[in-house]
Amino acid sequence: MEQYSTRQNKIGRLIQKELSELLRRDTNILAKGRILSLTIVRVTRDISQAKCYLSIFPSAGAEQVLADIKLHKSKLRGELGNIVRFQLRHVPELEFYLDDSLDYIEKIDKLLH
């Protein structure tokens, strides 16, 4: 497992906080009635990329929602840059992935019962 520095963790939390607010604001456009949650943001060592993991509920049609968010990632990155411009010199490229850990937990729970 990759070890993350304190700086990477702080930048990841900052991006997660601000990007969550942007996604909440645009949830009607991007999520189409679903609940979006930005579960974790992992920043690369050189701060060039941020891997953003999204949990989408209900999970049916989550791939389409993720595709819509990926289409808007440059707009989201620009808005994020305006918000964090005094904290970060360079805003990392945003990459979005589905966080299916809740679905996995639910599946395991069903198997156990």
CATH number of domain containing 46: 3.30.300.20
User: Which tops the pLDDT comparison, 93 or 36?
Assistant: 93
In a domain, 1, yes or no: no
Whether the CB-CB separation of 54 and 66 falls below 8 Å is answered with: yes
* pLDDT at 109 exceeding the cut of 80: no
CA trace torsion 83, 86, 92, 98 (10° rounding):
-40
Residue 67 belongs to a domain: yes
Give the pLDDT mean for 25-30. 82
Q: How many CB atoms lie within 10 A of CB 65?
A: 21
Domain span holding position 101 = 6-112
The per-residue pLDDT for range 72-108, each reduced to its tens digit, is 999 999 999 999 999 998 999 999 999 877 667 777 8
The pLDDT value recorded for residue 2 is 66
Quote the number of domains for the chain.
1
Residue 52 is assigned to a structural domain of this protein: yes
The amino acid that residue 21 corresponds to is E
Q: Report pTM.
A: 0.84
